[in-house]
């Protein structure tokens, strides 16, 4: 859990952590990953977005070509959920486009100035975009401009009610890993 610590190097002794399963290095000052980190035998989760080594790819991924939506086109309703990086609301997308006018969407509003365990909001948006389409990934419909307090927001489809969360929020006992009840 080393995100947001202004790290520019990692100790060589990291290669001796043979039982390490999770490494979060988001939002630091890393220009590259030491090769030893990718050789850790039990490493299952590695987060390194929001570092100089990812800046170019993150910038390219954010230019999706989709026209952003204006915050003024959204009528927010109830809060659907909240995570470390933001709050998700049900909303109505208003406008004149016959394909989207008055459609129900989900809006993720990122917490301003927050560095989470996985980095910054732009890193999360970039990772979402770079992941591409997959049946287990909720797609991003478009970005939102002029969100309150200069924040960032995304439009997503409403998740089907038959979907269930596969992970619970981490507890003090599980702070080093996500807990999945299968």
Residues in the chain: 182
Residue 75 binned pLDDT confidence (cut-offs 50, 70, 90): very high
Say which residue, 47 or 119, is predicted with more confidence.
47
Residue 96 binned pLDDT confidence (cut-offs 50, 70, 90): low
50: left (phi over 0), alpha (psi -120 to 50) or beta: left
Residue 21 near residue 43 (C-beta atoms within 8 A):
yes
- Where would I find the beta strands (DSSP E) of the chain? 22-24, 45-47, 69-70, 74-82, 86-93, 103-110, 142-145, 153-156, 167-168, 179-180
Q: What is the pLDDT of residues 5-64, one digit of tens each?
A: 999 999 989 999 999 988 989 899 999 998 889 899 999 888 898 899 988 888 777 665
Say which residue, 168 or 142, is predicted with more confidence.
142
Distance CA 69, CA 145 (A): 6
The model carries a pTM of 0.72
What domains are defined for the chain?
A: 12-60 (no CATH), 69-156 (3.30.200.20)
Say which residue, 154 or 127, is predicted with more confidence.
154
How much is the pLDDT for 1? 81
How much is the pLDDT for 168? 61
How much is the pLDDT for 60? 77
């Amino acid at each position: 859990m080393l995100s947001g610590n202004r790290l520019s190097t990692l100790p060589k002794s990291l290669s001796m952590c043979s039982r390490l399963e999770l490494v979060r290095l988001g939002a630091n000052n890393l220009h590259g990953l030491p090769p030893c980190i990718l050789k850790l035998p039990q490493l299952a989760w590695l987060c390194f977005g929001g570092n100089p080594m990812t800046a170019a790819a993150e910038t390219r991924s954010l230019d999706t070509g989709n026209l952003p939506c204006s915050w003024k086109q959204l009528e927010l309703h109830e809060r659907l959920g909240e995570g470390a990086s933001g709050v998700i609301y049900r909303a109505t997308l208003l406008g004149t486009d016959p394909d989207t006018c008055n459609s129900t969407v989900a809006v993720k509003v990122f917490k301003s100035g927050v560095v989470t365990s996985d980095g910054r909001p732009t890193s999360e948006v970039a990772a979402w975009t770079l992941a591409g389409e997959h049946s287990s990934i909720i797609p991003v419909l478009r970005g939102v401009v002029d969100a309150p307090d200069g924040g960032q927001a995304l439009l997503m489809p409403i998740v089907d009610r038959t979907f269930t969360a596969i992970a619970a929020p981490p507890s003090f006992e599980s702070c080093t890993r996500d807990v999945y009840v299968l």
